[in-house]
């Protein structure tokens, strides 16, 4: 079956944009060597976030028959958890998933450890991100308050 191949590339944060570009280059080079007619979709966001714009577009293309294959550099670049669900959706729509760099078979314990670390990382990032956002709000409110007090003192001293 011939059709458009989608190269899907993802990194977790905007600080990894250089990694995203390198990943896209690897996937594009692979697709070219295979002779695929392809398009690259890039995403920035957690592998546990299923509402990323690029992932939503990819799933829409799969369900609407807009692609015949998905190419990813590593399995976890598609999603961190729930890969089997996406794999099932792809199978139902006759879309293959091709993983360029398969990691060696790892033990159940190693896989579980990687999963637990991934979960901790995602939730830690959310927690610190919320704290950071809250701290920014506090600083902004304090600036407003102090600037009002400064203006008031200036008026009172005149």
Structure tokens at 154: 């200036």
Residue with tokens 């577009």: 57
The 3-state secondary structure of 86-143, one letter per residue: HHHHHHHCCCEEEECCCCCCCCHHHHHHHHHHHHHHHHHHHHHHHHHHHHHHHHHHHH
Nearest to 78 by CA among 41, 123, 115: 41
Active site includes 68? no
Nearest to 117 by CA among 80, 83, 75: 80
* Residue numbers annotated as active site: 12
């Amino acid at each position: 079956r011939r059709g458009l191949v989608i190269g899907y590339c993802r990194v977790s944060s905007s600080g990894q944009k250089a990694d995203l570009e390198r990943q896209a280059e690897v996937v594009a080079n692979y697709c070219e060597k295979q002779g695929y007619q392809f398009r690259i979709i890039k995403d920035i966001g957690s592998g546990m976030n299923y509402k990323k714009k690029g992932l939503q577009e990819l799933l829409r293309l799969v369900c609407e028959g807009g692609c015949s294959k998905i190419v990813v550099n590593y399995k976890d670049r598609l999603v961190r958890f729930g890969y089997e669900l996406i794999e099932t959706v792809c199978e139902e729509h006759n879309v293959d998933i091709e993983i360029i760099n398969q990691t060696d078979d790892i033990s159940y314990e190693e896989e579980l450890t990687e999963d637990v670390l991934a979960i901790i990382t995602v939730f830690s990032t959310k927690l610190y991100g919320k704290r950071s956002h809250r701290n920014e709000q506090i600083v902004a409110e304090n600036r407003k308050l102090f600037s009002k007090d400064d203006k008031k003192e200036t008026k009172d001293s005149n």
